[in-house]
C-alpha cells in the first residue's frame, strides 16, 4: 500500500481523539542509515535515524501532523508555539496545509536562518521575543489558557503521540529495539516520546543516552538555567517542559543524561558530514555524547546495536558552516587555470 503518512500508517498505536482529521505531508518513514565505518571505531553496529529528511527538515513534523490534525478536528482556527526554530517551521507548514493561521514566538536573534526562512515561507506570523525560548513558552501557554488559540508545543499530548512513531519505525527496520538510543535533549519532548514509543511497541527497550549542550544542561545540573547558551541553538533551553519525564526515561532505561561542549558538538557534526550525513549542530549531540562516553570508558558498545537520532538537517543552519570557512577560490573560466588549481 502506498505510504500515506504517520497517522494512517500507525493509527492503531496512536491515542488520538475521534475528531482528528488527518493533515499530512507524508512525514515519517525516514531512513535508518547504517554507519559501518564509524561503527567499527566503537566496535558496534551503528545507525543514524535521519530525521532531517522529514518534509520541513526536522523530526518536529511527526508531532505536528498529529497536533494539527487534532486541532483542526476540534475546530481550532489559529495555532501558536514557542520555538527555537524547527517547531516554528513545522507548525507553519502543517497549519498552512490545514488552512489555519499560525503564530510563532522565537527568541530574538537566536534562530538559525533556514528555520526562520521556513516559518516565513510557510506563512507564519513570526514574533521575536526579547528573551529566551523558556520565556516564549510561558507566554504561549498563558495566551492559550485565556483564548481559543491552540497550543502546538510538545506540552500538547498529541505531539508526543506522533513523535512516538520514530521508535516504532526503528523497531520495524531492526526487528527489535536497539541496545542504545542516543539523542539530543532540549525541551525534552522527543526523549519522552521515544521512551513512550518503545514501551508501547513491546519489541524490547533500549538504554537511552540523552545529550544536552553544556551551556544549556538543566537536567545534568539538576536546576534550571536562567541564561542558556550554546551554538546548538535548537537546544538552547534552560527549563525543559518535560524534564521530569526525560530523567525518568533515562533512569528507567538504565541510561543517563549527559552534557557535551559546543566543541564536541561541532566535531560530531563534522564526523557525520564526513560520512555523507549533514545535520544541524544540535542534531549531532547524540553522536557527541556517544563519543564522549566511549572515550572515558563509560560506554560499552562492543557488539551492540546503537541508534543515533539526528533530529534536523544541516541546511537548517548553513551559517555555522559558511561562517567558519573562507569563501571558495575564484578562477577565470579557463581550462589552464582549472588545471593549475586542482594540481592535476
Question: Would you give the DSSP letter of residue 302?
Answer: T
Q: How far, in Å, CA of 148 to CA of 187, rounded?
A: 24
Q: How far, in Å, CA of 201 to CA of 327, rounded?
A: 49
Where in 161-190 is the site for ligand F0G (CB under 6 A)?
184-190
Where in 184-223 is the site for ligand F0G (CB under 6 A)?
184-191
Neighbouring C-beta atoms of residue 186, cutoff 10 Å: 31
- 67 neighbors 159 (Cβ within 8 angstroms): yes
Q: By CB under 6 A, which span of 18-26, 80-88, 289-297, 326-334 interacts with ligand F0G?
A: 80-88
C-beta closer to ligand F0G: residue 68 or 191 = 191
- 50 neighbors 147 (Cβ within 8 angstroms): no
C-beta closer to ligand F0G: residue 144 or 154 = 154
Which of 27, 61, 161, 280 touches ligand F0G (CB under 6 A)? Answer: 280
Q: Report CA torsion sign: 16, 72, 92, 156.
A: negative
Biggest CA pair distance of the chain: 69
We find the least distance from the C-beta atom of residue 89 to ligand F0G, in angstroms, to be: 8
Asked if 65 is part of the footprint of ligand F0G (rule: CB under 6 A), the reply reads: no
Neighbouring C-beta atoms of residue 129, cutoff 10 Å: 18
Q: Is 151 exposed, middle or buried (0-12, 13-18, 19+ CB in 10 A)?
A: buried
Q: By CB under 6 A, which span of 35-43, 77-85, 95-103, 140-148 interacts with ligand F0G?
A: 77-85
C-beta closer to ligand F0G: residue 37 or 227 = 227
C-beta closer to ligand F0G: residue 73 or 224 = 224
User: For strand 125-129 and strand 101-107, is the pairing parallel, antiparallel, or unpaired?
Assistant: parallel
C-beta closer to ligand F0G: residue 30 or 311 = 311
- 85 neighbors 234 (Cβ within 8 angstroms): yes
Give the x/- contact pattern for ligand F0G in 283-322, rule: CB under 6 A.
Answer: x---------------------------xx----------
- 162 neighbors 64 (Cβ within 8 angstroms): yes
C-beta closer to ligand F0G: residue 132 or 311 = 311
Q: By CB under 6 A, which span of 139-147, 171-179, 201-209, 280-288 interacts with ligand F0G?
A: 280-288
Where in 231-270 is the site for ligand F0G (CB under 6 A)?
234-235
We find the least distance from the C-beta atom of residue 206 to ligand F0G, in angstroms, to be: 17
Strand ranges, E, within the chain: 32-34, 45-50, 78-82, 101-107, 125-129, 150-151, 180-184, 207-213, 256-260, 305-310
We find the least distance from the C-beta atom of residue 331 to ligand F0G, in angstroms, to be: 37
We find the least distance from the C-beta atom of residue 324 to ligand F0G, in angstroms, to be: 19
Residues that bind ligand F0G (CB under 6 A): 58, 60, 83-87, 154, 184-191, 234-235, 280, 282-283, 311-312
Amino acid at each position: 500500500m502506498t505510504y500515506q503518512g504517520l497517522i494512517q500508517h500507525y493509527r492503531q498505536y496512536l491515542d488520538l481523539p475521534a475528531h482528528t482529521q488527518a493533515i499530512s505531508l507524508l512525514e515519517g518513514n525516514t531512513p535508518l542509515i547504517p554507519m559501518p565505518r564509524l561503527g567499527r571505531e566503537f566496535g558496534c553496529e551503528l545507525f543514524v535515524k535521519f530525521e532531517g529528511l522529514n518534509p520541513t527538515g526536522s523530526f518536529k513534523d511527526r508531532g505536528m501532523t498529529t497536533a494539527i490534525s487534532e486541532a483542526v478536528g476540534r475546530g481550532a482556527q489559529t495555532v501558536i508555539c514557542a520555538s527555537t526554530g524547527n517547531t516554528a517551521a513545522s507548525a507553519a507548514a502543517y497549519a498552512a496545509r490545514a488552512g489555519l493561521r499560525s503564530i510563532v514566538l522565537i527568541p530574538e536573534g537566536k534562530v538559525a536562518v533556514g528555520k526562520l526562512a521556513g516559518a516565513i515561507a510557510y506563512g507564519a506570523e513570526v514574533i521575536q521575543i526579547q528573551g529566551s525560548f523558556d520565556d516564549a513558552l510561558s507566554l504561549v501557554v498563558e495566551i492559550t489558557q485565556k483564548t481559543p488559540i491552540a497550543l502546538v508545543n510538545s506540552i500538547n499530548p498529541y505531539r508526543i503521540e506522533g513523535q512516538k512513531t520514530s521508535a516504532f519505525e526503528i523497531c520495524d527496520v531492526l526487528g527489535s529495539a536497539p541496545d542504545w538510543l542516543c539523542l539530543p535533549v532540549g525541551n525534552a519532548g522527543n526523549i519522552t516520546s521515544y521512551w513512550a514509543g518503545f514501551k508501547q511497541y513491546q519489541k524490547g527497550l533500549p538504554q537511552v543516552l540523552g545529550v544536552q549542550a553544556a551551556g544549556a544542561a538543566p537536567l545534568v545540573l539538576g536546576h534550571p538555567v536562567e541564561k542558556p547558551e550554546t551554538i546548538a541553538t535548537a537546544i538552547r533551553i534552560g527549563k525543559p517542559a518535560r524534564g521530569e519525564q526525560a530523567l525518568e526515561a533515562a533512569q528507567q532505561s538504565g541510561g543517563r543524561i549527559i552534557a557535551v561542549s559546543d566543541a564536541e558538538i561541532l566535531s560530531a557534526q563534522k564526523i557525520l558530514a564526513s560520512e555523507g550525513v549533514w545535520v544541524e549542530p544540535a542534531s549531532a549531540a547524540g553522536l557527541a555524547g556517544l563519543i564522549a562516553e566511549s572515550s572515558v570508558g563509560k560506554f560499552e558498545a562492543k557488539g551492540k546495536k546503537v541508534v543515533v537520532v539526528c533530529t534536523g538537517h544541516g541546511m537548517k543552519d548553513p551559517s555555522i558552516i559558511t561562517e567558519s570557512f573562507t569563501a571558495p577560490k575564484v578562477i577565470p573560466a579557463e581550462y589552464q587555470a582549472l588545471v593549475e588549481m586542482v594540481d592535476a
